[in-house]
Amino acid sequence: MKRFRTQVGIVGAGPAGLMLGHLLHRQGIDSIILENRSQDYVIERVRAGVLEQGTVDLMNDVGLGTRLNREGLRHDGVYIAFAGARHRIDMAALTGGRGITVYGQNEVVKDLIAARTAANAQLHFGVTDLRVTDIEGPEPRIVFNRNGEPYEIACDFIAGCDGFHGVCRTSIPHELLRTYEREYPFAWLGILADAPPSSDELVYSLHERGFALFSMRSPTVTRLYLQCAPDEQIADWPDERIWSELETRLSTSDGWRPNQGRIVQKGVTPMRSFVAEPMRYRRLFLAGDAAHIVPPTGAKGLNLAVADVCRLSNALAAYYKSGSETLLDQYSDTGLRRTWRAQRFSWWMTSMLHKSDSDNPFDHQRRLADLEYLVSSRAAMTSLAESYVGAPLD
């Protein structure tokens, strides 16, 4: 058994774990990041791509803004479409100049891995059989195998940044953990296409046949989603069927429609709302998808993960500087408040914009009335804009 020691052991090299490692490094705190997948897998994984203003500001503040400022697409507004018409919500005008930036999560991950490598800090991919032990005591440990050899890392703290299916959350005694969950009776079929985006801003659309979303990754790549069944088989969706459905659900009477191009990636994303509380057990802290999942309609998943690790790194920095545990003690409660705000918004966007098989005609009319109100009331648009651009980081 090879034994090592670090201040903070980080499980998972998604955006939460990598960003935490970066923030800690800047504070002079030592960490080791352990990931069970390969580096290529983590980088190639196609995920969401909307950064809130606070996430962009943080990236700039911590030296990660160069490529983001060059390649990220800043949006001041967003479209909501229904009944054949598109309605623009001017987020910047309604929130004192705040907006969102489209920059793929995998680009964020690439920048973070580059920063970790440049800092010569420890990041290990492809570890197996990882477990956390001794979490009751003052020196929790992470054990795992790497290249067939067993390792043990003794830590002051462990950060569980290992996503929804990780091992950290399930290491907390289950009688101390309360979970809240909702599954949705639909999913999203997402594609990436080599097609220049035909709109400068995102279009969220409710059609009689279901939800569709127009998004993008770059001036030459469009990202599109269709509401589908949770058990939808991608094999049932040849390219022509996807384009025909997107065209039907997205085209508006002003003549706007998505540009078509070669489809380079297809996948089905399940939809779930999930919260675990508390986000801490003794010296184990949960961050990101390990602690909470939101349906993608509000584009909050990555941003919540960033907010968690920003708070956690500040709390750890305060502890190492002065011995104060005040911020560590507040970590969970503060995080849960932000999480529930994001849950509320993501649930609301999802319910307003999706059709469900259990809907009756009343539900459909009520949903249209909700949308009518949204796009005709400055107060309602301000409310959406405020949540969509996100609250400043704590």
- Side chain identity at residue 254, one-letter code: D
**Is residue 130 part of the contact set for ligand APR (CB under 6 A)?**
yes
- Give the C-alpha distances (Å, rounded to integers) separating 85 from 135, 251, 260, 348: 55, 9, 20, 21
- Does residue 75 have an active-site annotation? yes
In the complex with ligand PHB, the residue whose CB is nearer, 23 or 216, is: 216
314 burial level (CB within 10 Å; 0-12, 13-18, 19+): middle
Figure out which of the listed residues 43, 167, 368, 391 binds ligand APR, where binding follows CB under 6 A. Answer: 167
Minimal distance, residue 190 CB to ligand PHB, in Å: 7
**Is residue 14 part of the contact set for ligand PHB (CB under 6 A)?**
no
- Does residue 319 have an active-site annotation? no
CA atoms of 307 and 330, how far apart (whole Å): 14
Query: How many Cα atoms sit within 13 Å of 158 on the Cβ side?
Result: 32
**Is residue 298 part of the contact set for ligand APR (CB under 6 A)?**
no
Figure out which of the listed residues 13, 80, 195, 375 binds ligand APR, where binding follows CB under 6 A. Answer: 13
**The one segment of 29-37, 91-99, 209-217, 242-250 that binds ligand APR by CB under 6 A:** 29-37
DSSP secondary structure letter of residue 29: -
Minimal distance, residue 169 CB to ligand PHB, in Å: 24
Exactly one of 184, 225, 331, 388 is catalytic; name it.
388
Looking at the DSSP assignment, which residues form a beta bridge with residue 215? 223
- Side chain identity at residue 85, one-letter code: A
CB 192 within 8 A of CB 217: yes
Tell which positions 305-324 bind ligand APR, by CB under 6 A: 305
Figure out which of the listed residues 10, 11, 132, 385 binds ligand APR, where binding follows CB under 6 A. Answer: 11
**Is residue 48 part of the contact set for ligand APR (CB under 6 A)?**
yes
Helix (H/G/I), strand (E/B), else coil: 314:
helix
Looking at the DSSP assignment, which residues form a beta bridge with residue 266? 191
**Nearest position to ligand PHB, beta carbon:** 215
- Does residue 300 have an active-site annotation? yes
**Is residue 46 part of the contact set for ligand APR (CB under 6 A)?**
no
Alpha helices in the chain (DSSP H): 15-26, 39-44, 53-61, 66-71, 91-94, 105-118, 239-250, 301-322, 326-353, 361-376, 378-389
**Is residue 166 part of the contact set for ligand APR (CB under 6 A)?**
yes
Residues in the chain: 394
Tell which positions 61-120 bind ligand APR, by CB under 6 A: 105
CA atoms of 205 and 285, how far apart (whole Å): 38
**Is residue 215 part of the contact set for ligand PHB (CB under 6 A)?**
yes
Minimal distance, residue 17 CB to ligand APR, in Å: 6
CB 143 within 8 A of CB 2: no
The size of the interface with ligand PHB (CB under 6 A), counted in residues, is 9
Binding site for ligand APR (CB under 6 A): 11-17, 34-37, 42, 47-48, 105, 130, 161-163, 166-167, 288-289, 301-302, 305
**Residues known to be catalytic:** 75, 204, 296, 300, 388
Residues in the site for ligand PHB, rule: CB under 6 A?
A: 48-50, 202, 215, 223, 296-297, 299
